[in-house]
Amino acid sequence: MSASATSNPKPGRPFWVGTSWKMNGLPDDARRYAERIAAVDDWHGIRPFVMPPFTVLADVARLLHGSAVQVGGQNMHWDESGSWTGEISAPMLRQCGATMVELGHSERRRHFGETDETVNWKIHAALRHGLTPLVCIGETQAERDGNVADLILARQVRLALHGLTAAQAGRVMFAYEPVWAIGEAGRPAPPELVAQAAAGIRQELDRAAGAPGVSPPLLYGGSVNLENAAPYAALADIDGLFVGRAAWTAEGYATLARTASRTLAAPRPEP
Ligand code: 13P
């Protein structure tokens, strides 16, 4: 191995660090957060994004306009307008300044009846309107215990990408988030388990994209924090980190992004 080799086993592929604020962020806090990360002048090669609640999305997008940080919604409807009380459409997100949208998070699948089919409709709608969908997939503890985690992940990927051309599939992003690793009750997943699951997901993505190396980015999420970010970031099939609680302060988020960039730049130990 050459002396200049780094821990980044995927040179040339962008590395993303993003956060969903979930149901957090009153206007004053949201503005302070956005102002702080708008002031970061060098992300050291990281592609940053934040997904605030709808109520502050336009404000956050305005404050981050012209910065490197992309802004996304946490959900949207598949239709453009109409009698869908309480819903938000892709054109509405675009008008607010969003360029991305998170779809199919396990909290939405579990509590709000989101299915692989509706996620697929939403992906089509997002692409039609120029939004980059970030699709969350992941198995439950029961599915892992029952030895069907790989099957579940393959099913989620295939149904998400159903009906898309290879070029369209290449514009979708994925986040592998084991359901049992997310949130207060979550247990951080061992990096070896993430590596194994991500390799299987990558095979599915390569197949959908029609060729290896051009397949959609695959992020990892679920109890990511300062202690475990580096081992996840170093995994060959992982193109980014999707963070909840540990990035709910601007400082926490910026520090995580720095940790990821240092991991990717660090010299790789000789085998
Ligand atoms: P936590 O990092 O809080 O576990 O949340 C992860 C997540 O759900 C990101 O979408």
Residue 271: inside a domain: no
Establish whether residue 183 lines the binding site of ligand 1, counting it when its CB lies within 6 angstroms of any ligand atom: yes
**Residue 7: band (very low, low, confident or very high) from pLDDT cuts 50, 70, 90:** low
For residue 1, the model assigns a pLDDT of 37
> Is-catalytic flag, 105?
yes
For residue 20, the model assigns a pLDDT of 98
Residue 268: inside a domain: no
Alpha carbon of 225 to ligand 1 centroid (Å): 10
Q: How far apart are CA 156 and CA 137, in angstroms?
A: 6
Nearest CA to ligand 1 atom 7: 244
Range of the domain at 24: 12-263
CATH number at residue 167: 3.20.20.70
- Given a cut of 50, whether residue 228 has pLDDT beyond it is yes
Region 13-40: mean pLDDT is 97
Of 84-88, 118-122, 211-215, the poorest mean pLDDT is in: 211-215
For residue 209, the model assigns a pLDDT of 79
Residue 10 or residue 48, greater confidence:
48
Residue 3: inside a domain: no
Q: How far apart are CA 37 and CA 44, in angstroms?
A: 14
Region 68-86: mean pLDDT is 98
Catalytic residue among 102, 114, 143, 177: 177
Residue 119: inside a domain: yes
Residue 23: inside a domain: yes
Q: How far apart are CA 208 and CA 162, in angstroms?
A: 9
Residues 6+ apart with CB under 8 A from 83: none
> Is-catalytic flag, 227?
no
Q: Kind and range of the H or E element at 84? A: none
Question: What is the token pair recorded at 121?
Answer: 């409709």
Establish whether residue 105 lines the binding site of ligand 1, counting it when its CB lies within 6 angstroms of any ligand atom: yes
Nearest CA to ligand 1 atom 5: 244
Region 178-200: mean pLDDT is 97
Domain count, the chain: 1
For residue 72, the model assigns a pLDDT of 98
Nearest CA to ligand 1 atom 2: 244
Region 7-23: mean pLDDT is 87
Q: How far apart are CA 117 and CA 114, in angstroms?
A: 8
The per-residue pLDDT for range 148-170, each reduced to its tens digit, is 999 999 999 999 999 999 889 99
Q: Which atom in ligand 1 lies closest to the alpha carbon of residue 183?
A: 4
Residue 5: inside a domain: no
Residue 83: inside a domain: yes
Q: What share of the chain is helix, strand, coil (3-state, %, to 5)?
A: 45, 15, 40
Establish whether residue 245 lines the binding site of ligand 1, counting it when its CB lies within 6 angstroms of any ligand atom: yes
- Given a cut of 70, whether residue 54 has pLDDT beyond it is yes
Residue 36: inside a domain: yes
